[in-house]
Amino acid sequence: MDELHQHVQRAKESLLFSGAKIDEHLSAFLSDQAEVCEKLGREWSGRFEHLFLVGSGGSFASLQTAKYILDRVLHSPSDVLMSYEVLWRKPWRLNEKALVFLASYSGETEDTVAALRFAKERGARTVVIVAKTESTMAQEADIVIPYDSGAIYEVPIAALTLFAAGLAQATAAEAEAEELARSLEALPAVLRRTLDLEEQAAECKARELLRANHLYVLGSGPLGPLAYKVAMSVVMENVRIGATFSDACEWRHGPAEALERLRGDFIVLLGTDESRELTLRTIDFCRAQGSDVLVYDTAGFGDVHPLLTPLVMNSHIQWLIVYSAILRGITDLDERVFMGHNVLAPQGTLWP
């Protein structure tokens, strides 16, 4: 085995490279917590007026994806806020009639701990989704949804999808919510099948992008939040080159003009939902201007609910990132240069 593939094998044991075992991780969470999350939805039916979803970094992207699902099936209004935005905005609706979900892998994220405490001060009920049950957030929240894996992106989406399924019972959206829950249950098998193929293709894709020092990451619809995550907290954090997110359908409203003088390297996430047609138009335009465009098409996933395609796509992108990082000399995928070292954080804060 050559040195590159030795590093890839070690990467499979990395905490943050959950893609290699995501089918097992998601299956374990569904087995342990699916009924708990649905029951929580049933118990809270009619008991709150506004739902807040709160997180930072990758958790913020997860919750944006979850909101896309919730908007389809819930009558209750919801907002997704970055953690410190909760304190800065001071939403009037954040009160004793609100329910607040907060996501943090460590349960110690400075921003999200502060948001949790602010929400409790305002009288809201709080639910935290964390991997560390001994963490500050788990100890201080009203309700804890724990998970013991690296499925940092997938678990909050799964938990809130199941919560919505419970909440939507006996409503006009019950059938669609149940369809989402059934599709979610089938995802581990889809992940195993598609990831075996992606592992074989990822090295070639990474080599195609090796000369790029900046990537534009585009996606729309339910894949928009994942494209944001890939640019902001995956490419820049792990590959350590520049990255810019744009909604694929918004590319024609201004950003397209940059290609008159800029060639550009693109990763585009292509969904099976209503955003597909406009995203295809954007892909064709960028290629016509001479840009290199690497397309990840969810049509190859098979019969996956369009709103749940991000849960499969995330792990596909992880394979690309693993090879891209290693080919650039970054071989310890869990180590960070600045994050976790009290940079831009007060002393005593564990993360970031």
Write out the DSSP string of 2-40.
-HHHHHHHHHTT-SS-GGGGHHHHHHHHHHHHHHHHHHH
Summarize pLDDT for 20-50 with one digit per residue, the tens.
889 999 999 999 999 999 999 999 999 999 9
Tell whether omega for the bond before 352 is within 30 degrees of 0, i.e. cis: yes
pLDDT of residue 259 exceeding 60, the answer is yes
Which DSSP helix (H) or strand (E) runs through 246?
strand 242-247
**Domain 18-183 identical in fold to domain 189-327:** yes
Q: What is the pLDDT of residue 339?
A: 73
Summarize pLDDT for 191-229 with one digit per residue, the tens.
999 988 898 899 999 999 999 999 999 999 999 999 999
> β-strand 143-146 against 214-219: which pairing, if any?
unpaired
pLDDT of residue 348 exceeding 70, the answer is no
Task: Classify burial at 329, counting beta carbons within 10 Å of its beta carbon; exposed 0-12, middle 13-18, buried 19 or more.
Answer: exposed
Q: What is the pLDDT of residue 172?
A: 85
pLDDT of residue 70 exceeding 60, the answer is yes
Scan for tokens 């581990």, then name that residue.
Answer: 188
In terms of pLDDT, which residue wins out, 196 or 259?
259
Q: What is the pLDDT of residue 1?
A: 62
| Distance in angstroms (rounded) separating the CA atoms of residues 332 and 27 | 27
Q: What is the pLDDT of residue 352?
A: 58
Q: What is the pLDDT of residue 300?
A: 92
| Distance in angstroms (rounded) separating the CA atoms of residues 338 and 347 | 14
**Residue ranges per structural domain of the chain:** 18-183, 189-327
Q: What is the pLDDT of residue 351?
A: 56
| CATH no., domain 18-183 | 3.40.50.10490
Q: How far is CA 200 from CA 312, 313, 342, in A?
A: 16, 16, 38
Do residues 92 and 333 make contact, with C-beta atoms less than 8 angstroms apart?
no
| Distance in angstroms (rounded) separating the CA atoms of residues 256 and 218 | 12
| Average pLDDT, integer, range 170-178 | 89
Fold of 189-327: Rossmann fold (3.40.50)
Q: How far apart are the first and last CA of the chain?
A: 36
Torsion-angle region of 171 (φ positive above 0: left; ψ -120 to 50: alpha; else: beta) = beta
Summarize pLDDT for 309-327 with one digit per residue, the tens.
999 999 999 999 999 999 9
| Distance in angstroms (rounded) separating the CA atoms of residues 39 and 167 | 8
| Average pLDDT, integer, range 82-103 | 97
Round the average pLDDT of the chain to a whole number and report it.
93
pLDDT of residue 349 exceeding 70, the answer is no
| Distance in angstroms (rounded) separating the CA atoms of residues 187 and 109 | 29
pLDDT of residue 347 exceeding 90, the answer is no
| Average pLDDT, integer, range 52-67 | 96
Q: What is the pLDDT of residue 333?
A: 79
pTM of the model: 0.94
Q: What is the CA radius of gyration of the chain?
A: 20
Q: What is the pLDDT of residue 338?
A: 76
**Of 12-16, 309-313, 333-337, where does the model show the most confidence?**
309-313
